[in-house]
Amino acid sequence: MANLTLVIDEDVLRRARIKALEQGTSVNAVVRSFIDEFAGEDEQMKARRVIVESALKSTWGSGPGGRNWTRDDLYEERFSRFGSKENS
């Protein structure tokens, strides 16, 4: 991350610090959030970020033992149950 120096009126900074404290955050976090929002984010990058964040939060998976079947197993099971098109 880069550092940024700002010149802000002392009274404005004092009020910002108080408000940030009341909201459980910092002036630095508020300014960073504002600049992020102001600069915007490329739509594709935003979509990627949402997908990655969702994947990281997901509790879905193959279970503790992982996947225990192969694609051939699935085809074999399906054909044994429904038969192949040639048998129709």
Domain ranges of the chain: 10-46
Cα–Cα dist 27/3, whole Å: 14
Task: Tell me how many degrees the CA angle 57-45-58 measures, rounded to the nearest 5.
Answer: 10
- Specify the pTM: 0.47
**Predicted pLDDT of residue 86:** 56
Going residue by residue through the chain, which has 88 residues, state the pLDDT in tens, using 9 for 90 and above. Answer: 899 999 999 999 999 999 999 999 999 999 999 998 888 777 888 888 899 999 888 877 777 777 778 889 888 888 888 876 555 4
Alpha-helical (H) ranges within 1-88 are 10-22, 27-39, 43-57, 71-82
**Predicted pLDDT of residue 85:** 58
